[in-house]
Amino acid sequence: MYRSHHCGALSAKEIGQTVHLSGWVQKVRDKGFIGWVDLRDRYGVTQLIFDAERSAPELLQAAKDLGRESVISISGEVIARDNANPQMATGAIEILVQELKVLNTSKTPPFTIEDQTDGGEELRAKYRYLDIRRNPVKENLIFRHKVSMEVRKFLSDQGFIDIETPYLIKSTPEGARDFVVPSRMNPGQFYALPQSPQTFKQLLMVGGMDKYFQIVKCFRDEDLRADRQPEFTQIDCEMAFVTQEDILNVFEGLTKHLLSEIHGIEITSFPRMTYAHAMKTYGNDKPDIRFGMEFAELNEQAQHKEFAVFNAAELVVGIAVPGANTYTRKEIDALIDWVKRPQVGAKGLVYVRCNEDGSYKSSVDKFYDQEDLATWAKATGAQAGDLICVLSGDTDATRAQLSALRMEMATRLGLRDPKVFAPLWVIDFPLLEKDPETGHFHAMHHPFTAPKPEHLSLLDTNPAAVNANAYDLVLNGNEIGGGSIRIHDRATQSKMLSLLGFSEAEAKAQFGFLMDAFEYGAPPHGGLAFGLDRLVAILGGQETIREFIAFPKNNAGRDVMIDAPAALDQAQLEELFLDSTAPKNA
């Protein structure tokens, strides 16, 4: 037996008992005639004591010789601590050790195993197994487990069936790039890893399974942006015989359940906002509504004077930043530089100080009088002490720029409290978006999303105006889920694929099985998928998904711990009927 208790279990109640503990040496303090060892395991830390009076001399010496991160097993008596530490779960006691066994030694770790470590990101990634010993990482992984379990419980209780869909499927060049898997038994042919189980879950609905869920790995061979992973985890769901309303209700329920079970927070407000409204009011289809600073469009109030910049703009739009009239001229200049950075891309920023005396001072006083500025203040809801920030230009770009500024100001003002949760649905997404360069249509959600029935006839005449029963679940400025009501008849699916540029032969080769299935009694259905990595990170009050993944890959898609990917044996390649054309020293 390695242990009778965990290192987080003992308290004054156990004083006098003989116990066995095992774990890692967190710290050794050597005071000559007395020595303490902090013993750590997954559950906590327990203090061990060795002293010249009560311990055998060899034992005291052995304790002093222990290296950090050695693995030991001890037995001893639980005794009261002279100086109890109320900050520590086991702070009332210590163990007077009678036996000590070193189970394994440790080289000096390349970084300290402490909550605040001295290890850089790369070093921590290479020795991820040591990083996981640190409380913050360990707690994140346990937190993820709790969220997953609650998701499963909730959905299972609602009658959803967890059904595993295959990982070795077929490549569909549409959308993001697939990872592919050469088939040795089918020479020259490849499987693809799923970007999502989309078609399979739809086939399960055709198969009458009615309510499906799965927590499932998905794969996308994309050029990695910061905080993207080539493999990621999805909470994937689908329901038959439902309307959008049914789906929103179920997953609103799931979100509330999670916030209640995980954080004890009862959500009372769960707004639904159209895509059009979100874009107009927040410049963004995933608005953070923990705070205000809603957009006010100022074309009417600002295009009647001689200020050419505004007059030429498609959109003039502003926000009132609460309390920011305290910004010095220098700080405002820095803010103007900030919006002009290429990542934001604004041409400039017009500001209006809302003074305590009710007067206004703006960067465009040359063109606008106090009365003009008062209308801006009214439109943006600015109060005395606020700073109105106004951007102008093409609608889409200007909205995106002001959205970036709004988020930046909220961060500076501490309005993005990670312990406050403000979920909402964004609904009525457009079905299609037009690629500005090629003029081709892309599916805004995916090619299986149904047009709103009342927009069906517009598909032929004005596809850009067609909306879908498509919806995103947004939490604290992050899209954590999205879905739609699907097409369930061959004719509409066929028309949709043709709109997206598929020839009939391509459509048949790639999605023929799905369209065939629609001819055998496909029920109306819809669903959604949550990104588990991001959901867990946001619920955990953080934004970096990598901190919630046990073995993440770096931005080059590499696992630096196991050093993957790696070259294959030539024999392996030959068995797969492949030749590498990569440059030899790549």
Return the residues of window 460-519 that contact a copy of itself according to CB under 8 A: 488-489, 513, 517-519
- Nearest approach in angstroms of CB 548 to a copy of itself is 10
What does the alpha-carbon distance between residue 263 and residue 314 come to, in Å, rounded to a whole number? Answer: 44
Pick from 429, 529, 526: nearest CA to 485? 526
Segment near a copy of itself (CB under 8 A), from 270-278, 295-303, 306-314, 576-584? 576-584
Task: Report the residue number, 200 or 448, with the smaller CB distance to a copy of itself.
Answer: 200
Helix (H) / strand (E) containing 296: strand 296-297
Q: Which of these, 485, 478, 480, 426, lies nearest to 455 by C-alpha position?
A: 485
118 binds a copy of itself (CB under 8 A): no
How is residue 114 written in tokens?
A: 């402490």
Query: Which C-beta is closer to a copy of itself: that of 12 or that of 168?
Result: 168
Contact 526, 483 (CB under 8 A): yes
294 binds a copy of itself (CB under 8 A): no
Q: 264 or 583, CB closer to a copy of itself?
A: 583
Q: Give the SS3 label for residue 397.
A: helix
42's CB contacts (< 8 A; 6+ apart) are: 6, 138
**By C-alpha distance, which of 44, 31, 41, 52 is closest to 96?**
52
Q: Where in 379-418 is the site for a copy of itself (CB under 8 A)?
A: none
CB nearer to a copy of itself: give 413 or 576: 576
| Binding mask of the shown chain, residues 160 to 199, with x at each position contacting a copy of itself by CB under 8 A | -xxxxxxxxxxx-x---xxxxxxxxxxxxxxxxx-----x
CB-nearer residue toward a copy of itself: 21 or 373 = 21
Q: Which of 345, 524, 542, 544 binds a copy of itself (CB under 8 A)?
A: 524
Report d(CA 76, CA 20) in Å as an integer. Answer: 7
The CB-of-13 to a copy of itself minimum distance in angstroms stands at 21
Segment interacting with a copy of itself, rule: CB under 8 A, options 16-24, 50-58, 87-95, 316-324: 16-24
Q: Which of 105, 249, 359, 462 binds a copy of itself (CB under 8 A)?
A: 105
Contact status, residue 427 vs residue 407, Cβ threshold 8 Å: no
SS3 category, 499: helix
Asked whether position 104 contacts a copy of itself by CB under 8 A, the answer is yes
Q: Which tokens go with 56?
A: 């055998």
Residues in 65-84 that interact with a copy of itself by CB under 8 A: 69-71, 73
Binding-site size, a copy of itself (CB under 8 A): 127
List b or e across 462-497, with b for residues whose CB sees 16 or more CB atoms inside 10 angstroms: ebeebbbbbbbbbbbbbbbbbbbbbbbeeebbbbbb
Residue pair 8/139 in contact by the 8 Å Cβ criterion: no
Contact at 8 Å (CB) between 255 and 423? yes
Strands (E), 343-386: 350-354, 360-362
Least Å distance, CB 75 to a copy of itself, is: 14
Out of 106, 299, 303, 478, the only residue in the binding site for a copy of itself (CB under 8 A) is 106
Contacting residue, 14, 38, 41, 297, with a copy of itself by CB under 8 A: 41
The residues that bridge with 361 in the sheet, in sequence order, are 353
Which single residue is written with the structure tokens 């242990």? 3
Residues in CB range of 112: below 8 A, 6 or more apart:
118, 119
Shortest distance in whole angstroms from residue 20 CB to a copy of itself = 10
Written as six digits, the tokens of 564 are 């993957």
Tell me if 557 contacts a copy of itself by CB under 8 A: yes
The nearest distance, CB 139 to a copy of itself, in angstroms, is: 11
Closer CB to a copy of itself, residue 18 or residue 570? 570
**556 touches a copy of itself by CB under 8 A:** yes
* Closer residue to a copy of itself, CB minimum distance, 130 or 538: 130
Which residues are CB-contacts of 186 (< 8 A; sequence separation ≥ 6)?
none
Of 23 and 482, nearer to a copy of itself (C-beta) is 23
Shortest separation between residue 26's beta carbon and a copy of itself, angstroms? 11
Least distance to a copy of itself, CB of residue 565, Å: 4
**Among residues 184 and 361, whose Cβ is nearest to a copy of itself?**
184
Q: Is 451 left (phi over 0), alpha (psi -120 to 50) or beta?
A: beta
Q: Which is nearer to a copy of itself, 224 or 309 (CB)?
A: 224
State in angstroms the smallest separation of the CB of 264 from a copy of itself: 20
Residues in the chain, total: 586
Site for a copy of itself contains 578 (CB under 8 A): yes
Residues 6+ apart with CB under 8 A from 513: 199, 203
Kindly give the pairing relationship between strand 180-182 and strand 18-30.
Answer: unpaired
C-alpha to C-alpha distances, 507 to 433, 489, 516, nearest whole angstrom: 20, 14, 11
Return d(Cα 314, Cα 391) in angstroms, integer: 11
Residue 551 binding a copy of itself, by CB under 8 A: yes
9 binds a copy of itself (CB under 8 A): no
- Which residues, 231 to 290, sit near a copy of itself by CB under 8 A? 231, 233, 241-243
Q: Which of 341, 464, 564, 570 binds a copy of itself (CB under 8 A)?
A: 564
Can you name the residues that pair with 238 across neighbouring β-strands?
212, 527
Contacts of residue 240, Cβ cutoff 8 Å, sequence gap at least 6: 205, 208, 209, 210, 211, 523, 524, 525
Q: Which of 230, 253, 323, 418 binds a copy of itself (CB under 8 A)?
A: 230
- The least CB distance from residue 200 to a copy of itself, in Å, is 6
- Looking at residue 546, the DSSP 8-state letter turns out to be G
CB 151 to a copy of itself: min, Å: 11
Cα 364 to Cα 245: distance, rounded to the nearest angstrom: 47
Report the site for a copy of itself in 141-160 (rule: CB under 8 A): 141-142, 144-145, 148-149, 152, 156
For tokens 């007059």, the residue is 311
Among 29, 61, 121, 138, binds a copy of itself (CB under 8 A): 138
| Minimum gap (Å) between residue 174 Cβ and a copy of itself | 12
